[in-house]
Chain A
């Protein structure tokens, strides 16, 4: 049974067709003339009386006109022809790079394509960054498919998460929005494109471990060097003969000097220039004052002067929803929400090499101030000196708190599942599905037909019918 993106438009076409049918009944065209030598035996009568008889006139013309109207209406209304009669949708949402693997997709489809169910493997960009993005993508995809296939009555969802993600707060929030059970599978193979959990220190969100910090390029009595000396950092230059390579190197060299620390010098290289303009940032023409900087849940209030903002290129990568080659995230914010410190992952394509981070900090402490030595600056110090990847969290703990029960609908908590690292082990188990009606109406109305070629086909058919109607009409008149 076909459906329409704009049903009212097709209804208008049907109404117009009915009007055309009515006009053909009411046609008062005169009958065609006929030479008949025995016409004298035909009783006299008025031609219009014949025309008012309630019967269809010019049936071929009528059919052509109705066909043209209905085809044009169906094309403009965005006809969708469902290619399945399945009642169950088995939706698998995985991280983008895994979902792009055609062999993996085929294997999943093979396992799930039972009982004439509709199987869809969908990609969720950003699962590395926020685990909840898979649920967002799942909700959107389920709404699209359910709207397009009216025969679907239940949706079984399986999400395949990377072993670690920067944040899982979104997953917890979005979990309540899914009106059914969710199978969560953690896939270690995703480490090929991302980071296996064993390569990062999986600590609870908001906590970082202490690491060795070296401050270079600092002037005498540098406040930043003093800040990290309180935290155990050694404000010494590179090449210090103590034998222990630092985990974090903070470079206080001015940005335009060109004599900064190389990125490869340490796992974490922080460019925190004295002038407040790190590499890759743009100098503000008119610096402004800003009252506070927020980092790691703490607020440092002070008369800061903001002299730089992220360059447009840096901003674009920061705002991009896709995982870039060198993903960028914000470590600290000014009180007005603008980034104050950024972290950029370096060398993330080589799965065997350790992570490296390049951080830039545009916080210029007030001259002569000891704000950075206060406890309020602990948050800033922690995020700047944290090991690379320390903020990622394991996704293995993502499951419902409650167990047992029946699948719920409309946002209630639902049954959880035993986690499994093997996708096929999990997929074979029975699932409590979400009702498909919960997603109907949620999908945005997308113009156009499905499949895409229905619109040009119907428009072409309508045009052919109109041309044939014109030819038929001329032929009859002749």
Chain B
């Protein structure tokens, strides 16, 4: 998968704040780099930035400005709730797929010299690896994620609130936990300058349930008896589609990115969809 992602770039959706030089367009304007605009000379500006030819032509003093590039620390947050461990017997559960996508995103960010770290919320606490740019960071993150096992109920919102606002935060989750609280945190961070991306991991078996009548229930959650049969599957799919559409609308409404990926697809393809901001065909809202 990492070979398939070689050369993939993950530019920030908008200009980032002041930061050490990096690959992302910065909100700061400087005199180095690619020319972007002219500005009237103000007292205190560096005279070397004056455009003398324009001065000669127009008798007015203008300074050449160009965008600065800045680093963008990337935090990858992986949900380890019990609902992520589905299907339990399949070779690729939602959690396994989320780990693969997380490693792929980390590799892409690291290739752009961005610091990348991971935050995993487990039932016992929060596992945090701060963003780093040194060699071996991706492998270290992969080892940390491999050591994790999903289970229990985990609240993502408090962990997300602890993250810095001047960063790119990618959340890999199935949105079946504290989705509303997480969305509020994401909206607040986004308003403060963070770049949020929600990667909604959906199991193929959730989109197309197995045939035959089944008495369905959620692990670790008390709920009334529900029967999934040929008579109720259409309603189920309509409800689930509406839920996902609503999620997409709300996430994008906060200015965050939203990408839905399914375990039936390839992890590399999912990573490309996240970094490019494209929607995959199965997503209920195919436009962004």
A residues in contact (CB < 8 Å) with B: 30-47, 49-51, 53
- Given the interface contacts A32-B215, A37-B206, does A42 sit within 8 Å of B86 by beta carbon? no
Within 8 A of A (CB), among B206-223: 206, 209-210, 212-219, 223
Complex A-B: 16 CB contacts under 8 Å: A30-B215, A32-B212, A34-B209, A34-B216, A34-B228, A35-B88, A35-B218, A36-B86, A36-B214, A39-B223, A40-B223, A41-B236, A42-B236, A43-B232, A50-B213, A53-B229
User: In the complex, which residues 136-184 of chain B have their Cβ closer than 8 Å to any Cβ of chain A?
Assistant: 174, 176
The answer to whether the Cβ of B28 comes within 8 Å of any Cβ in the partner chain is no
Residue in contact with B232 in the complex, picked from A30, A32, A35, A45, CB distance below 8 Å: A45
CA distance A32 to B209 in the complex (A): 14
B57 contacts the other chain (CB 8 A): no
On chain B, the residues within 8 Å of A49 by CB distance are 227
Provide the bound-state CA to CA distance between A50 and B233, in Å.
Answer: 13
Known: A45-B226, A50-B227. A37 touches B214 (CB 8 A): no
Q: Is B83 an interface residue (CB 8 A)?
A: yes
Tell me if B239 is interfacial: C-beta within 8 Å of chain A: yes
Instruction: Encode contact with A along B252-274: 1 for CB under 8 Å, 0 otherwise.
Output: 00000000000000000000000
A36–B225 CB distance below 8 A: no
Tell me if B35 is interfacial: C-beta within 8 Å of chain A.
Answer: no
User: Which 5 pairs, one residue from A and one from B, show the smallest C-beta to C-beta distance?
Assistant: A37-B83, A34-B214, A41-B239, A31-B213, A39-B216
Expressed in whole angstroms, the Cα–Cα distance for A37 and B226 within the complex equals: 13
- When distances are taken between beta carbons in the complex, the residues of chain B under 8 Å from A35 are 86, 88, 216-219
CB-based nearest B residue for A39: B216
Q: Does B235 contact A (CB under 8 A)?
A: yes
**B7 at the binding interface (Cβ < 8 Å):** no
In contact, A31 and B219 (Cβ under 8 angstroms)? no
Q: With A and B bound together, what is the CA distance between A34 and B87 in angstroms?
A: 10
Beyond A36-B209, A47-B215, 6 extra complex contacts between A and B, CB < 8 Å? A31-B227, A34-B228, A35-B216, A36-B86, A42-B235, A46-B225
**Is the beta-carbon distance between A38 and B240 smaller than 8 angstroms?**
yes
Q: Write out, one digit per residue, whether chain B residues 45-89 have a CB within 8 A of any chain A CB (1) or not (0).
A: 000000000000000000000000000000000000011001010
B213 & A36 in contact (Cβ 8 Å cutoff): no
Complex formed: what's the CA distance from A30 to B223 in Å? 17
A211–B216 Cα gap in the complex (Å)? 109
* Set of chain B residues within 8 Å of A41, measured between Cβ atoms: 236, 239-240, 243
Total B residues in contact with A, Cβ cutoff 8 Å = 33
B281 / chain A contacts, CB cutoff of 8 Å = none
B156 → A minimal CB distance (Å): 15
Most buried by A among B174, B212, B214: B214
CA distance A381 to B185 in the complex (A): 137
Q: Which among A37, A38, A47 is the interface contact of B227 at CB below 8 angstroms? A: A47
CA distance A33 to B147 in the complex (A): 30
**Cα distance A41–B246 in the bound complex, in angstroms:** 14
Which residue from A31, A32, A38, A51 sits with its C-beta under 8 Å from B206?
A: A38
Nearest-CB residue, chain A, relative to B219: A35
User: For the complex, what is the distance from the CA of A61 to the CA of B243, rounded to whole Å?
Assistant: 40
A32 contact from B83, B203, B214, B218, Cβ within 8 A? B214
Most chain B Cβ neighbours within 10 Å, of A36, A40, A51: A36
Per the bound structure, the CA–CA distance linking A36 and B223 in Å amounts to 12
User: Closest residue of chain A to B235, judged by CB?
Assistant: A43
B232 and A34 within 8 A (CB): no
Asked whether A36 lies within 8 Å of B216 as measured between CB atoms, the reply is yes
Residues of chain A with a CB closer than 8 A to B231's CB: 50
Interface contact B176-A37, CB-CB below 8 Å: yes
Which residue in B203, B215, B224, B225 is a CB contact (below 8 Å) of A34? Answer: B215
Residue contact B226 to A44, C-beta cutoff 8 Å: yes
Nearest chain A CB to B219's CB is how many angstroms away? 5
A42 to B227 alpha-carbon distance, docked (Å): 7
A42 pairs with B216, CB closer than 8 A? yes
For B228, the closest partner residue in chain A by CB is: A42
A37 B212 Cβ-Cβ under 8 A = no
Q: How far is it, in angstroms, between the C-alpha of A35 and the C-alpha of B235 when the chains are bound?
A: 18
Report how far A36 CA is from B232 CA in the complex, Å.
14
Q: Which residues of B are found within 8 Å of A46, using beta-carbon distances?
A: 225, 227
- Cβ B206 vs Cβ A45 within 8 A: no
Q: Is the CB of A36 within 8 A of B227?
A: no
Kindly provide the distance from the CB of A48 to the nearest chain B CB, expressed in whole angstroms: 9
CB-CB < 8 A to B174: which residues of A? 37
Q: Is the CB of B217 within 8 A of A33?
A: yes
- Tell me the smallest distance from the CB of A39 to a CB of chain B, in Å: 4
Residue from B218, B224, B229 within 8 A of A36 (CB atoms): B218
Q: Which chain A residues lie closer than 8 Å to B240 at the CB level?
A: 38, 41
- Contacting residues, chain B, for A32 (C-beta < 8 A): 212, 214-215
Q: A33-B217, A45-B226 are in contact. Are A38 and B212 (CB under 8 A)?
A: no
